[in-house]
Amino acid sequence: MSHAISRRLLVAAAAGSALALSFAASAQAEVKLNFLVDNAPATVKASEALAAAFHAKNPDITIEVESRAAGSEGDNIVKTRLATGEMTDVFMYNAGSLFHALNPPQNMLDLTDEPYQSDIMDIFKSVVSENGHVYGAPYQTAMGGGVLYNKKIYAELGLQIPKTWADFMKNNEAIKAKGGVTPVIQTFKDTWTSQLFMLGDFYNVLQAVPDFPQKYTANQIKYATTPAALRGFEHQAEVFKAGFLNEDFGSASYDDGLRMVSKGEGAHYPMLTFAIGNINENYKDYINDVGFFALPGDDAAKNGLTAWMANGIYGYAQTEHPAEVKKFIAFVASKEGCDTQTEAVGAIGPYMTKSCTLPADVPPAVKDLVAYFAEGGKNAPALEFLSPVKGPALEQITVEIGSGIRAPLDGAKLYDDDVRKQALQLGLPGWE
Amino acid sequence: MMTLGKKGSRRGLAAAYPTWFYLPAAIVFGVLFLFPTFASLFFSLTRWTLFQYSFIGLDNFRQFFSEPFLVWGLVNTLIYAVVTSGSKVVLGMLLGILLTSNVMVRGLLRAIVFFPVLVSTIGVGITFTMLMHPTNGLINDVIAVLGMKGPAWLTDPRFALLSVAFVDVWKGVGLATVIYIAGIVSIPSEYYEAAKMDGANALQRFWNITLPLARPATVTVIILSLIGGLRSFDLIWAMTKGGPGFTTDVVASVIYKQYQAGFYGLSTAGNVVLFVLVAAIVVPLSFVLNRKEVEA
């Protein structure tokens, strides 16, 4: 359509109309798209590499990368910019529950009929869709929520990767007995890091209660009254009670945690695997000492990984250049897009585009992670991708449980109250 | 008759300028103050996602008051306001007396006491967070030299709130001191001379002259620091973010967290509650304190 118009204008220009000539010039002029991403160094680096690679292929389209805060502050920036009509042409944002809170049909370009969709994994499409329409394409890689561990300590003490919670605690006991090394690293200065025991245990919850997400969304099941769901909270209290934590767990930061597990000051750090990218950046010399395993549950036969989907890249519904935006998103979701990202920041997990591959020389922790996604590997999406209900106060509650301030059952009850607000805000049925 | 006269004089004042002269200020006031005030009252009655809202009556207020952390937040807010306000009165008064005496390099000392007031609150918060680190902070290093083990100042729920309050006092006492200096300097020296003649000792002079005559300064310090304490947020957020868990949450941080979570209607309702709370404490207090001043 726009093609036809510009051709008609060119004809008019050939006829000698000065007015049409100026229109034709503007139609051929460069298009500039703004691309809003979070300000994690790896994200900015990958985004700028994508912008440059895309511009090299399409010299008439320039992508300008703009960064914003991450976390809940970033959520507010995105929501405010959408509400005030100030959103950039393209933006990166979470998939799953946070995606649904943005009112996608009103705010995002519909990408359902894009040709590349057949190359995208169905599991990813399910977390960026609403009412059967797909609004996002994958950006960056999928992650796992589990335990980063120091391989040197494991080799030195002859420990095995634990497949059950009891084995995990036995390993901790052995590490504590040896002395000088912290068995479990916790870093509550960055409160979000306290949630892993609970959120990363969801694969195990799902094994015990397969319809937990549906019932949870419909207000028919609770954390406090479901023993399998309560286990994550209880585990966190157990490691505190056993004295397995670093002395400064209340004041240590996320970066302290990465340093401790990389350099072997601590053995286990419950974390999301995107941290491998940060270790690669800050403690590169130690990257081969770090491995990864899923949080173990009660049954060794049912051991598997709680997986976090890749982020999404979305087009703003009110952009002036929808065709160019779609072209850029298609590039990001293509094999070429994946390779550009791998080249820029290294591969830290599996891509959600089927034709994308990882290089052979990925760090050991990434190898451990990819095994859970490979044939025969077991994984399930985290709850936030299966249900829009997630309470905002979870990180404070898990800090309290993990510091022995609050009992697990009490914390679970508090969290059940907390999610009610989110459900009401989203207008879900069954919560009024 | 009286009221008529008053009305007349007010009208006389109004006529000092033509109407158009008031317009710029009126527009600024209307757009930036009146409209947001009424808009926030309205949105506090809605469930609001920024994209759409639905009217839910007083549900937000019901929710806000059943918030498990809110009761804690209210208690913490009051503790924090009373502790910081009280400490600033006592310390500010003592420092004010010291710095109005003939102490050496008085000007320099006055500047030093006032200096923390000028530093950014967030900067102060981050600095003290490092000083108060349990294992490699300077404060506990010093305590360790004395052969004792210092507590986890900001992460032990028993100490966290008071640690932040201490920093607030350190940062804010300079302003209270300056107010007291102004108040004490304005007391005529004849009173002290007369009291000395009558044989009053230092304590008696303080109790019977300085304290009552510095009353306007005390009222100002109490009201300013109490309002500051009730709506305090930046220092707490920089140092503990309301943590560990919810142990140092104050009303303002509870409101901020609701906003962060995207509960815009709920957090607006919280702001209305905070407004009413501050007004309910400060208006009567200011009335009582000022009336006594007139009597004195």
Alpha carbons A375 and A391: distance in angstroms, whole number: 34
Smallest CA–CA distance from B130 into chain A, residue? A251
Interface of A with B in 150-179 (CB under 8 A): none
Which class in CATH covers the domain with range A26-142+311-345? alpha beta
Q: Where are the domains of chain B?
A: 68-295
Q: Is A5 on the interface with B (CB under 8 A)?
A: no
B111 vs B100, B127, B186, CA distance in Å? Answer: 13, 21, 20
Query: Residue A9: pLDDT band by 50, 70, 90 thresholds?
Result: very low
Tokens at A427, concatenated: 């207008």
Q: CATH assignment of A143-308+364-426?
A: 3.40.190.10
Question: Taking CB atoms and an 8 Å limit, are A188 and B260 in contact across chains?
Answer: no
Task: Compare B88 and A100 and report the one with higher pLDDT.
Answer: B88
Q: Give the pLDDT confidence of B137-166 residue by residue, as tens digits.
A: 899 999 999 988 888 899 888 899 999 999
Q: Which CATH class is domain B68-295?
A: mainly alpha
Whether residue A405 lies within 8 A of chain B, CB to CB, comes out as yes
Cβ within 8 Å, pair B244-A399: yes
Mean pLDDT of A411-421: 92
Inspect the interface and report whether the beta carbons of B259 and A393 lie closer than 8 Å: no
CB-nearest partner of A397 from B49, B52, B245: B245
> Model's pTM, two decimal places?
0.81
**Residue A75 reports pLDDT greater than 60:** yes
CB contact under 8 A, A76 and B257: no
Q: Which residues, 6 or more positions from A346, have their beta carbon under 8 angstroms from its beta carbon? A: A277, A280, A362, A363
A26 pLDDT higher than 50: no
DSSP character for A195?
G
Q: Between the CA of residue B77 and those of A186, B252, B273, what are the distances in Å?
A: 29, 9, 13
3-state secondary structure B237-281: HHHCCCCCCCCCCCHHHHHHHHHHCCCHHHHHHHHHHHHHHHHHH
The identity of residue B136, as a single letter, is N
pLDDT in tens, B165-191: 999 999 999 999 999 999 999 999 999
CB contacts of B243 in chain A (<8 Å) are 188, 191, 396, 399
What is the Cα–Cα distance from B37 to B31, expressed in whole angstroms?
A: 10
Which residues numbered 249-268 in B keep a CB inside 8 Å of some CB on A?
Answer: 257-263, 266
Instruction: List the structure tokens of B68.
Output: 């498990």
Distance, in Å, from the CA atom of A413 to the CA atom of A419, rounded to the nearest integer, reads: 10
Kindly tell me if the per-residue pLDDT of A107 is higher than 50: yes
CA atoms within 13 A on the CB side of A361: 2
Interval A153-186: pLDDT, tens: 999 999 999 999 999 999 999 999 998 999 999 9
- The burial of A424, by beta-carbon neighbours within 10 Å (0-12 exposed, 13-18 middle, 19 or more buried), is given as middle
Q: Tokens 């609001």 — which residue?
A: B48
Beta strands in chain B (DSSP E): 46-48, 53-55
**Phi-psi bin for A145: left (phi > 0), alpha (psi -120 to 50), beta?**
beta
Give the residue extent of every domain in chain A: 26-142+311-345, 143-308+364-426
Residue A421 contacts B, CB cutoff 8 Å = yes
A-interface mutation test, from B46, B47, B48, B49, most A Cβ less than 10 A away: B49
> Is residue B46 within 8 Å of residue B199, measured between CB atoms?
no
How much is the pLDDT for A280?
Answer: 86
Q: In angstroms, how far is CA A212 from the centroid of its own chain? A: 21
Contact state of B242 with A106 under an 8 Å Cβ cutoff: no
Chain B's closest residue to A427, CA to CA, is B47
Single-letter amino acid code for the residue at A21: L
Instruction: Give A87's contacts in chain B (Cβ within 8 Å).
Output: none
Cβ contacts of A405 on chain B, cutoff 8 Å: 157, 244-245, 247
How far, in Å, CA of A294 to CA of A270, rounded?
9
CATH topology of A26-142+311-345 equal to that of A143-308+364-426? Answer: yes
